[in-house]
Amino acid sequence: MWDFGIENGVVMTARAIYEANIYGSGGTIGAITTKRQPASTVIDAAGLVVLPGMIDAHVHSRDPGFPDKEDFFHSTRAAAAGGVTTILEMPNSVPAVMDAEALRKRRAYLADRAYVDYGLWGLALATTTSAEFQAMVEEGACGFKFFWGYALDPRTFELVYNPAPGADLLDPPSDGQVLEIFQRVAQTGRVLAVHAENQSVIGTLSRYADKLGYDALVQSRPELTEIMAIHAAIDLAEHTGARLHIVHLGAAEGARIVHAAAERGVQATCETCPQYLTLSDRDYARVGTPMKVYPPIRSEANRQGLVMALKEGLIRLIASDHAPHTAASKKGPLDQIPAGIAGVETLFRLILDMALRGDLELGQVVRYMSEEPARLFGLYPQKGAILPGADADMVLVDLDGSWTVSADKLHSLNPLNPWEGQTLKGDIRATVLRGRVIFQDGSIVGSPGGCFVAPSNGQSSRALISSGSIQEQS
Ligand SMILES: [Zn+2]
């Protein structure tokens, strides 16, 4: 007798589509079979597709730290409602995750607030020693985040977007210090996630920009600012052997540069976000300040270039860069309000909509949002797979349904988002975390039961099939 069963669904992975019943116990999948087997609780997935749970590798819940903006309780409920069963949480909490002790404490603090599974990023600072990086790895850091070119608040390690003259700040690291960060993270074997915008060029161009309009914002942060930083990051990764991952890519050309580097053997990947794939500067007149993110959302041609790069497989994953701010703080002059939007709950729904409109294949959605992030961060095949032995994380989708983005339905503390009112194709009927339903028919189910997850360095702690093929067990 299995603990749970998901019957009559159509299973869809990055590679295959087939009708099957899925059974399991103890939180993992035990059998994938066309036969019926006895189970204590059964979900009828007739008419639905069953996908592996989505993984959002880029979430800023900032908990503990900024309780007016977001907290883990709300961000992980939003994840559950958005078909996301694992989030990788960014390190800019207060205190920041800059050493092993901070990571251990944050992991414990978040444990009873998590509705979905979570991994934790460590912060890469110029002052972080090799030993400190290694200690964070041993505590389970999924990788390290480097906010290149930003001055940081010395207390909160929050990015300082508009430094006041003479403010007491941690200066951005020099090129030599950046090299050391790459070297030290390379020694750990973990991913180095890089915010790639050349802040010096942005500083210069901002002086000339008329600061009032959206065009001025984009002109002060042209594609060049990302391209310059990406080229430099690739050179550093090539020289040091670091596993470079460019986060929130906004410049389409960057995808080709990263892919070309990977083709010649550099360990380089990139991610983009729904905001860059679904919006362009044309939308600003309609959406207004909730659209402000860094890098900025640029031209329609650039958006189409990113969609094309995704179709061609040049971009390895899609993440949300979920970073809500209060509605009040998003009002004001464009150059003074913070960058960042709520996105974890709409991440999968927006990309599913793209697929159902023909912009992407459904298999690619699974690849970029579940399998690839699991592989990149050493979680595969515990995560990112529907296979015997894998965690029973799944999302049940009605491809014929639809869903309208509405802040009053979203679960984030500050659900302000640039897609308000849009009706998206497809609907999430249920989200399953380790065999347990956590979201069904519009409502969160149960209490927080998410677990901490850490990279396994390619060695799964569970006995898993090695070939990746489907095997039946009974
Ligand atoms: Zn971010």
Range 170-197 average pLDDT: 96
Q: How far apart are CA 2 and CA 21, in angstroms?
A: 12
The stretch 192-221 carries a mean pLDDT of 89
Yes or no: say if 105 and 154 are a contact pair by the CB < 8 Å rule. Answer: no
Domain that holds residue 196: 53-376
Q: Does the pLDDT at position 422 exceed 90?
A: yes
Number of domains present in the structure of the chain? 1
Q: What pLDDT, on a 0 to 100 scale, did the predictor assign at position 464? A: 38
Q: What percent of the chain has pLDDT over 90?
A: 86
What does the pLDDT read at residue 211? 64
Give residue 387's pLDDT. 97
More confident call, 15 vs 452: 452
Question: Is 36 within the bounds of a domain?
Answer: no
Question: How far is the centre of ligand 1, averaged over its atoms, from the C-alpha of 52 (Å)?
Answer: 24
Interacting residues of 67 by C-beta distance below 8 A, sequence separation 6+: none
Q: Report how far ligand 1's centroid is from the alpha carbon of 104 (Å).
A: 21
In a domain, residue 147? The reply is: yes
Task: Please state the rounded mean pLDDT for residues 436-464.
Answer: 81
Residue 262 CA to ligand 1 centre (angstroms): 23
Q: Decide if 107 is inside a domain.
A: yes
Confidence check: pLDDT of 331 > 50:
yes
Say how many Å lie between the CA of residue 339 and the centre of ligand 1: 10
Instruction: Determine which helix (DSSP H) or strand (DSSP E) holds 62, and give its type and residue range.
Output: none
CA 360 to ligand 1 center in whole angstroms = 24
In a domain, 86, yes or no: yes
User: Residue 462 pLDDT more than 70?
Assistant: no
Which residues share a beta bridge with 128?
none
Distance 432 CA to ligand 1 centre (A): 26
What pLDDT is stored for residue 470 in this prediction?
39
Determine the distance separating the centroid of ligand 1 and the alpha carbon of 429, expressed in angstroms.
28
Look at residue 220 and tell me if it is in a domain. yes
Distance from Cα 400 to the centre of ligand 1, integer Å = 33
CB-CB contact of 458 with 378 (8 Å): yes
Residue in the structure block whose two tokens are 């402000």? 292
Cα of 58 from ligand 1 centre, angstroms: 6
d(CA 60, ligand 1 centre) in Å: 6
User: Could you list which residues have their CB under 5 Å from ion ligand 1?
Assistant: 321
How much is the pLDDT for 473?
32
Domain membership of residue 28 (yes or no) is: no
- The alpha helices in 280-326, defined as continuous H runs, are 284-287, 300-311
Which pTM does this prediction carry? 0.95
CA 149 / ligand 1 centre spacing (Å): 14
In degrees, rounded to 5, the angle at the alpha carbon of residue 244 between the alpha carbons of residues 390 and 151 is: 115
pLDDT at residue number 461: 37
Cβ atoms of 68 and 81 within 8 Å: the answer is no
User: Residues 223-246: what's their mean pLDDT?
Assistant: 98
* Cα 323 to ligand 1 centroid, rounded to whole Å: 7
Distance 463 CA to ligand 1 centre (A): 34
Q: How far is the CA of 211 from the centre of ligand 1 (A)?
A: 23
- The whole-number average pLDDT for the span 186-190 is 98
Higher pLDDT, 204 or 40: 40
How much distance in Å is there from the Cα of 35 to the middle of ligand 1? 44
Find the CATH number of the domain harbouring 210.
3.20.20.140
Structure token pair of residue 117? 């599974």
Instruction: Indicate the pairing of strand 49-52 with strand 39-44.
Output: unpaired
Pick from 130, 103, 145: which is nearest to 186 by CA?
130
Distance 178 CA to ligand 1 centre (A): 19
CA of 57 to the centre of ligand 1 (A): 10
Buried/exposed code over 15-48 (b: 16+ C-beta within 10 A; e: otherwise): eeeeebbbbbbebbbbbbbeeebebeebbebeeb
Burial class (CB in 10 A: 0-12, 13-18, 19+), 209: middle
233 C-alpha to ligand 1 centroid (Å): 17
Q: How far is the CA of 36 from the centre of ligand 1 (A)?
A: 44
Distance 59 CA to ligand 1 centre (A): 7
Lowest mean pLDDT among 214-218, 433-437, 470-474: 470-474
CA–centroid distance, 295 to ligand 1, in Å, is 10
Whole-number average pLDDT of the chain: 93
Q: How far is the CA of 294 from the centre of ligand 1 (A)?
A: 9
As a whole number of angstroms, the distance between CA 245 and CA 372 comes to 12
Q: Is residue 396 part of a domain?
A: no
If you measure from the C-alpha of residue 34 to the centroid of ligand 1, how many angstroms do you get, rounded to a whole number? 42
End-to-end Cα, the chain, rounded Å: 10
3-class secondary-structure state, position 193: strand
pLDDT tens track for 103-112: 999 999 999 9
77 pLDDT band (50/70/90 cuts)? very high
| Residue 212, pLDDT above cutoff 80 | no
Cα of 292 from ligand 1 centre, angstroms = 13
For residue 284, pLDDT over 70 is answered with yes
Average pLDDT over residues 310-334: 95
**What pLDDT band is residue 457 in, cutting at 50, 70 and 90?**
low
Q: pLDDT value at position 459?
A: 40
Q: Which residue has the tokens 């897609």?
A: 419
Does some domain include residue 426? no
* Cα 17 to averaged position of ligand 1 atoms, centre (Å): 33
